A = this chain, B = another copy of it.
Amino acid sequence: MLTAMTETNPYADVLELTHPPTQTPARRQIERALVDWMHDTGKGAAEITVCALAKRAFVARSTFYKNYAHADAVLDVIEQRILAELCDAGDAMRALARGGASATESYDAFVRVLHRHEDEFRLLLVELPSARFADRWKRMLGYHFWERLFTDGAREQRLRPSTVNRALVLEMIASAFISGVRFWLMTPERVEIPEIKALILRLIRDIDEVW
């Protein structure tokens, strides 16, 4: 009997980004104020002073500094909160054995995250595109698809596990997915929501089957 080499998920380091500080009323106000300010002005987080941001959030400067080192750190935490929820949403994907059901569950959970954070997604993908956020999200998608397709449990159920070009394919899948969300945020009138679900699930099924 051969003992399969257990490979480590090369995207696992993204999980380190899924432990944002606990949400509190003060943090919520500060984070909300930053999103609103960036949306209103079209300027990046580095361009607002802590003084102005604290004022906008109705908190004292000392309260700000108890929670964040600077304004860009606020954006970093906002991204981490979304990543943590995306991580939970993708969890169902792991269970390749459940096939379509696991993909459906993950898709529905993702849509809830998207609606809950639509303003933030709009900001980070469309209004002031954050390469850092897109990169982190790509790695999160890479993490979940890797879990789904290449862990030992997944391999047992597959006829031809692909061993080459994994990183390339995961990059392509993640780019397609994120660009699709961006497209929907930019031109919602050109998107038929019910058909998207069918499309994404078919895409995942194809990936399961051929790769």
A165 to B192, CA, bound (A): 6
A111 at the interface (CB under 8 A from B): no
Those of A142-201 within 8 Å (CB) of chain B: 164-165, 167-169, 171-180, 183-184, 187, 190-192, 195-196, 199
Q: Number of contacting residues on A, CB 8 A? A: 27
Count copies of this chain in the complex: 2
Assess whether A165 is in contact with B196, with CB atoms less than 8 Å apart: yes
B171 and A191 contact, CB distance less than 8 A = no
Chain B residues contacting A177 (CB-CB under 8 Å) are: 172
Does A61 reach chain B (CB closer than 8 Å)? Answer: no
Contact status B168-A180, CB under 8 Å: yes
Contacts of A47 in B (CB 8 A): none
Measured CA separation A172–B173 after assembly (Å): 9
Of all chain B residues, the one with the shortest Cβ separation from A196 is: B165
Among B168, B180, B184, contact of A191 (Cβ-Cβ < 8 Å):
B168
Q: Is the CB of B165 within 8 A of A175?
A: no
Let me know if A19 is at the binding interface, CB within 8 A: no
A179 near B183: Cβ-Cβ < 8 Å? no
**Chain B residues positioned under 8 Å from A169 (CB to CB):** 199
For A4, list chain B residues within 8 Å (CB).
Answer: none
**Contact in complex: B199, A206 (CB < 8 Å):** no
User: Known contacts A202-B210, A206-B206; is A172 also within 8 Å of B164 by CB?
Assistant: no
Residues of B within 8 A of A165 (CB): 191-192, 195-196, 199
Closest partner residue, chain B, to A191 (CB atom):
B168
Contact B206 A164 (CB under 8 A): no
The 3 closest A-B pairs by CB, nearest first: A175-B179, A176-B176, A172-B176
Q: Other CB < 8 Å A-B pairs besides A165-B192, A165-B199, 10 of them?
A: A165-B191, A165-B195, A168-B180, A168-B183, A168-B191, A168-B196, A172-B176, A172-B177, A175-B178, A206-B206
